[in-house]
Homo-oligomer: A and B are copies of this chain.
Amino acid sequence: MIEVIGFDADDTLWHNEVLYHQAKDELGVMLADYRHPREIIEQLDQTEVKNIAYYGYGIKSFTLSMIETAIRVSGGKVTAEEIDEIITIAKRMLSAPVELHSGVKATLESLSGNYALMLITKGDQFEQERKIRISGISHFFQYIEVVGEKSQSSYRKILGQYDIDPARFLMVGNSLRSDVLPVLKIGGQAVFIPNETTWFHENADQEEFSDFEFTEIENISQLPEFLTGKSL
């Protein structure tokens, strides 16, 4: 019997990755004189992953990786004006409005009567707090947690802190790696809602799932029905 439902935020409750995609496309076009846009984006992807150890996640980290990529792909020829454009892209991303996925508000409203809802998001705390503040849905959540990484130990810590039995916890999100797998591994349940644009870094190896079961739905609106089925 589920008592607490955890929700990932970026690309589960609201659009996020699309901002990064737009920025990557802009960078490719901006630097097209130096290299083919596709190669620029590939180089950026590699730089981003390599820099996680230094920077962690979020737009500021992404921006520093965009600047580093611009220097590399241009062979040191990128101009101050172009770097300045990258900073302008960053500030636009950092002040972008939060656009909810379809069905989010009604679903949270309906579930909040019967379950304690928890928002669990990873990434830059400052950036996440701004989005939570302006999302218009923060009042549905009894718990709000911003973590550095979504690992088995971070889920265990959060649930322990509030004395929540993992067997009564269900996590909902678009990342197999961050939302589904670690929760299943600590004895919780998970619902996977794939998003058309999920960062490749968030995928997980299919083999890792051979011992686990989870449910996949297309839209968050199907969640109440799924939960009703469960409790029958």
Tell me the number of copies of this protein: 2
- Give Cα distance in the complex from A174 to B54, angstroms: 27
Cβ A80 vs Cβ B77 within 8 A: yes
Shortest Cβ gap from A133 to chain B (Å): 10
- Give Cα distance in the complex from A77 to B54, angstroms: 28
Cβ B76 vs Cβ A81 within 8 A: yes
Task: Choose the segment among A66-74, A97-105, A178-186, A196-204 that binds chain B (4+ C-beta atoms closer than 8 Å).
Answer: A66-74
Cβ B55 vs Cβ A126 within 8 A: yes
Q: Which A58-111 residues have C-beta < 8 A from chain B?
A: 60-61, 63-64, 67-68, 70-71, 74, 76-81, 83-84, 87, 90-91, 94-95
- Is A57 part of the binding interface, using a Cβ–Cβ cutoff of 8 Å? yes
**Could you tell me how many residues of chain A have their Cβ less than 8 Å away from some Cβ of chain B?**
33
Q: Which of B56, B71, B95, B148 contacts A83 (CB 8 A)?
A: B71
- Is A129 part of the binding interface, using a Cβ–Cβ cutoff of 8 Å? yes
- Give Cα distance in the complex from A3 to B55, angstroms: 36
Cβ A57 vs Cβ B126 within 8 A: yes
- Is A124 part of the binding interface, using a Cβ–Cβ cutoff of 8 Å? yes
- Give Cα distance in the complex from A55 to B58, angstroms: 11
- 6 example contacts (A-B, Cβ-Cβ < 8 A) are as follows A54-B90, A64-B87, A70-B80, A76-B79, A125-B148, A126-B148
* Nearest 3 CB-CB pairings of A with B: A56-B126, A125-B125, A60-B60
